């Protein structure tokens, strides 16, 4: 008999969503974009300058990150500012970074 505190096996939907999350984080440019906004919101131009890729490429990556609910957008007039979506995303990013730096 399984213990109550053990986690159940993921169902197909959860497994697919988790795999998509890690796939979204499986690109160095997207990870660098998250790094650029981890400590505060920035617009596309600022992110492009920090990451060193075109604004068009940054916008493309941000679109996917928004669809995965990893980043959020806030409009201020004509400018759009991006930040990590919530503390779960920041924690996931920071724990991954800590793991990489530890080894």
What residue segments make up the domains of the chain, in order of their start? Answer: 26-102
User: Does 4 score more than 80 pLDDT?
Assistant: no
Place 3 in a pLDDT band, splitting at 50, 70 and 90.
low
Write down the pTM of the prediction: 0.86
Place 5 in a pLDDT band, splitting at 50, 70 and 90.
low
The architecture in CATH of the region 26-102 reads Orthogonal Bundle (1.10)
pLDDT above 90 covers a percentage of the chain that reads: 90
Contacts of 92 (CB under 8 A, 6+ apart): 25
Burial class (CB in 10 A: 0-12, 13-18, 19+), 64: middle
> Which helix H or strand E contains 13, and what residues bound it?
helix 12-24
């Amino acid at each position: 008999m399984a213990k109550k505190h053990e986690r159940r096996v993921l169902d197909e939907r959860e497994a697919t969503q988790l795999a998509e999350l890690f796939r979204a984080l499986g690109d160095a440019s997207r990870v660098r974009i998250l790094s650029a906004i981890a400590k505060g919101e920035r617009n596309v131009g600022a992110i492009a300058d920090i990451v060193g890729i075109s604004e068009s490429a940054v916008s493309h990556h941000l679109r996917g990150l928004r669809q995965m609910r990893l980043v959020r957008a806030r409009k201020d007039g004509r400018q759009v500012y991006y930040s990590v979506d919530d503390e779960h995303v920041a924690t996931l990013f920071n724990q991954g970074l800590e793991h990489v730096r530890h080894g």
